[in-house]
Amino acid sequence: MFFVFDGVDGAGKSTQLDLFVEWLRDLGRAVVTCKDPGSTELGEQLRALLLGKHETPIHMRTEMMMFTTARTQLVQQIVKPSLARGEFVVLDRYILSTVVYQGHAGDLDPDELWTVNRIATEGLLPDKTFILDLPVEVAMPRLGQSLDRMESRGAEYMHRVRDGFLFEARRNPDSVEVVDANREIGVIQKEIRETTGKYMARKSSARSRFL
Ligand code: ADP
Ligand code: MG
């Protein structure tokens, strides 16, 4: 099964993802976890260009293609082989981030980015995406001093990012879960585990009906 954690910077993705993976491993599952962009040699090089501070101009459309290229490599090198072995894959960000950061919040057409990303990933979509939703005013102070290239785009951009995630969640209600991240870490994690438990039970009973 394939799970993704997404949302604005500072929303608690990494925190929740780590706890989620710990839970899956305690349940005896083999779990592979990756950052998108990143987690492959090429992906890490692209990540450094995309998120690091430098003076090299990168057009929004180029930026979108670079994020998407890192994703293609991640899917081919790690995600698909891991899923084929029956392992769980849990990603920190995926397609939605590109649709939102370069589409809804950037100036590119979100639907066009869906099309590009469907091609780039051979249509591989997660079973569930958890969007950790947090008001920008709460998320931004959590980021600390050294902001990356995306985080330094300011509050107005981050408001468009948050709204973009919520828009995409409404469009994909079956696979995208919006989680109120403005609560205690343990409370948020409990809800994510419950949602996942129900999803896994539904999926395994659907499978057994066809056997
Ligand atoms: P992200 O990966 O989405 O950028 P992190 O998981 O790194 O977010 O969390 C950003 C900061 O906020 C960290 O310092 C983390 O400890 C803190 N944090 C995460 N979740 C919560 C929460 N529910 N309440 C308060 N602080 C949190
Ligand atoms: Mg993080």
DSSP one-letter string for 9-26: TTSSHHHHHHHHHHHHHH
pLDDT value at residue 211: 64
Q: Residue 9: which CATH number?
A: 3.40.50.300
10 lines ligand 1 (CB under 6 A): yes
Instruction: Tell me if 10 sits within 8 A of 140, measured CB to CB.
Output: yes
Say what the pTM is: 0.97
Residue 210 has pLDDT above 80, yes or no: no
More confident residue, 209 or 41: 41
Q: How many domains does the chain have?
A: 1
d(CA 77, CA 89): 13
Q: What is the pLDDT of residues 12-24, one digit of tens each?
A: 999 999 999 999 9
> Is any ligand 1 atom within 6 A of the Cβ of residue 15?
yes
Q: Looking at the predicted structure, is the pLDDT value of residue 83 above 90? A: yes
CB of 158 closer than 6 angstroms to any ligand 1 atom: no
- List, for residues 62-79, the tens digit of each pLDDT value: 999 999 999 999 999 999
DSSP 106: S
* The token pair that represents 88 in the structure block: 């769980």
Which residues are 90's β-sheet partners?
3, 33
Whether residue 145 is predicted with pLDDT greater than 90 in this model: the reply is no
Q: Whose CA is nearest to atom 9 of ligand 1?
A: 12
> Are 171 and 129 a contacting pair, CB within 8 Å?
no
Residue type, 7: G
49 has a pLDDT exceeding 70? yes
Taking every pair of Cα atoms in the chain, the longest distance, rounded to a whole number of angstroms, is 58
The encoded tokens of residue 113 equal: 């980015």
Per-residue pLDDT, 46 = 98
pLDDT single digits (tens) 102-116:
999 999 999 999 999
Residue 117: domain span: 2-209
